[in-house]
């Protein structure tokens, strides 16, 4: 497999975008011990302590139309949850669309970016940030109350190599399943791990905030939120509060 190990870099997303432009093949992986400018969704920073986490980007080149790209974030979330379960025995939950929580605190973020042109998707760059062996004091003060790590939840050091190989195993298996058979089976798996579905939530979007019951996700990965007036809203991108 095409694996790139870096000691330090600004962001594995940037490195992977570069490699994808240089025709790196499907399945190329970039891993680093430290990111100096890790990035999260909505132009946020991602705190990436040295040697304690998994900071990784995976290049996929699926032969699917661009409207089938957003589901890869959800497919990745299912793969990471399965890997965490397999390696640590912990029981993570997924918060739509892409946060993985343990005891209500975030241990993993996923950022999917697209390189596309008139011919369709050229590459998907799937970034995974997983807090593995940090202790509370390893996090920046501003995220200490909302972030957690596998070590903080399990009490044990976790083998990052084992976790990376488990994530890549499930990611390959589930992205192949999604490409071959569609989102149906994965949607059920995603919903079974979800902390969002069946609960009242507040969805903060760029222009408005909606409160209601999260009823499920569609085949397109769109969150279905029912407001008290009985209307069903499709949420494409938002911050969810519960």
**Closer by beta carbon to ligand BTN, 111 or else 163:** 111
Residue whose tokens read 């501003």? 142
CA distances from 14 to 35, 56, 110, 147 (A): 11, 11, 15, 24
**Closer by beta carbon to ligand BTN, 46 or else 190:** 46
**CB of residue 50 to ligand BTN, shortest distance in Å:** 13
**CB of residue 40 to ligand BTN, shortest distance in Å:** 3
The residues that touch ligand BTN, with contacts defined as CB under 6 A, are: 11-13, 35, 38-41, 44, 46, 48, 55-57, 99, 109-111, 127-129
- Determine the Cα–Cα distance for residues 236 and 234; give it in Å rounded to an integer: 6
CA torsion 204-60-16-38 (nearest 10°) is: 30
**CB of residue 111 to ligand BTN, shortest distance in Å:** 4
**Closer by beta carbon to ligand BTN, 153 or else 212:** 153
Region for 5 from its dihedrals, namely left if φ exceeds 0, alpha if ψ lies in -120 to 50, beta otherwise: beta
- Determine how β-strand 120-131 pairs with β-strand 232-235: unpaired
**CB of residue 167 to ligand BTN, shortest distance in Å:** 12
Please enumerate in sequence order all residues whose Cβ is within 8 A of that of 195, keeping only pairs 6 or more positions apart, or say none.
93, 94, 95, 101, 104, 242
**Closer by beta carbon to ligand BTN, 112 or else 175:** 112
> Among candidates 80, 89, 73, 61, which has minimal Cα distance to 2?
61
Contact 136, 43 (CB under 8 A): no
**Closer by beta carbon to ligand BTN, 41 or else 233:** 41
**Closer by beta carbon to ligand BTN, 78 or else 128:** 128
CA distances from 16 to 44, 113, 167 (A): 19, 10, 18
Numbered residues of the known binding site for biotin: 35, 39-41, 106
Numbered residues of the known binding site: 35, 39-41, 106
> Among candidates 4, 25, 27, which has minimal Cα distance to 15?
4
**CB of residue 31 to ligand BTN, shortest distance in Å:** 9
Comparing every residue's Cβ against ligand BTN, the nearest one is: 109
**CB of residue 195 to ligand BTN, shortest distance in Å:** 15
């Amino acid at each position: 497999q095409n694996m790139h190990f870096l000691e330090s870099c600004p962001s594995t997303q940037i490195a992977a975008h570069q490699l994808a432009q240089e025709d790196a093949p499907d399945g190329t992986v970039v891993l680093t011990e430290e990111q100096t400018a890790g990035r999260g969704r909505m132009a946020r920073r991602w705190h990436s302590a040295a040697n304690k986490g998994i900071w990784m980007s995976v290049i996929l080149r699926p032969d699917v139309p661009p409207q089938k790209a957003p589901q890869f974030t959800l497919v990745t979330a299912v793969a990471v949850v399965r890997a965490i379960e397999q390696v640590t025995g912990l029981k993570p939950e997924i918060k739509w669309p892409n946060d993985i929580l343990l005891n209500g605190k975030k241990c993993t973020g996923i950022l999917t970016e697209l390189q596309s042109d008139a011919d369709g998707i050229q590459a998907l760059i799937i970034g995974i940030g997983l807090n593995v062996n940090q202790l509370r004091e390893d996090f920046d003060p501003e995220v200490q109350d909302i972030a957690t790590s596998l070590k903080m939840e399990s009490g044990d050091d976790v083998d990052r190599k084992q976790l990376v190989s488990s994530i890549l195993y499930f990611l390959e298996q589930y992205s192949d399943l999604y490409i071959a058979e569609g989102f149906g089976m994965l949607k059920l798996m995603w919903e079974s791990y979800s902390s969002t579905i069946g609960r009242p939530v507040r969805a903060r979007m760029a222009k408005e905030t909606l409160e209601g019951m999260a009823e499920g996700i569609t085949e397109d990965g769109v969150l279905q939120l029912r407001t008290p007036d009985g209307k069903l809203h499709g949420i494409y991108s938002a911050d969810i509060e519960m």
